Amino acid sequence: MHLIAQTYDNGGSGLFSGVGLFLWLALVVLYIAGGWKVFEKAGEAGWKIIIPIYNLYILLKIVGRPGWWLILYLIPFVNIVILIIVWVDLSKSFGHGVGFAIGLIFLPYIFLLILGFGSDRYLGPAASGGASATGGGAPMPPAPA
């Protein structure tokens, strides 16, 4: 018995790989543009966003986390937790709450653009108390004497 395997190529795979590449490049450009402006608002040079690994170190510095946390990005599953903590801290560093942090976690390309090009001001590292602990906006005023 003779089995003949036939394959069909309708030419669509090239189309989808081209579209996928275009979408990936568009997301990279959005991430860099938003991150560039966020870095500048935080007092860092914007070009630092385009250097892999170093950009994570600068982001940790912006949110007030120690530089050695960079090592935690290398540990599977721990890196996801660290990424979430850093996005929450970034949200608080710009006076936003957990809701905005959820946006950064799931749609970082859009929410970095909002932070970078919007009217938000960098209030200081959230991890060191630069923004309010509740994430409600401006830093908490001192208690009356």
Q: Quote the mean pLDDT of the chain.
A: 84
Residue 129: the pLDDT is: 63
Distance of CA 63 to the CA centre of its chain: 12
Q: b/e map of 70-90 (b: 16 or more CB within 10 Å)?
A: bebbeeeeeeeebbebbbbbb
Tokens 């991150």 sit at which residue? 35
Residue 17: the pLDDT is: 74
For 17-70, what is each residue's pLDDT tens digit?
A: 778 889 989 999 999 999 999 999 999 999 999 999 999 999 999 999 999 999
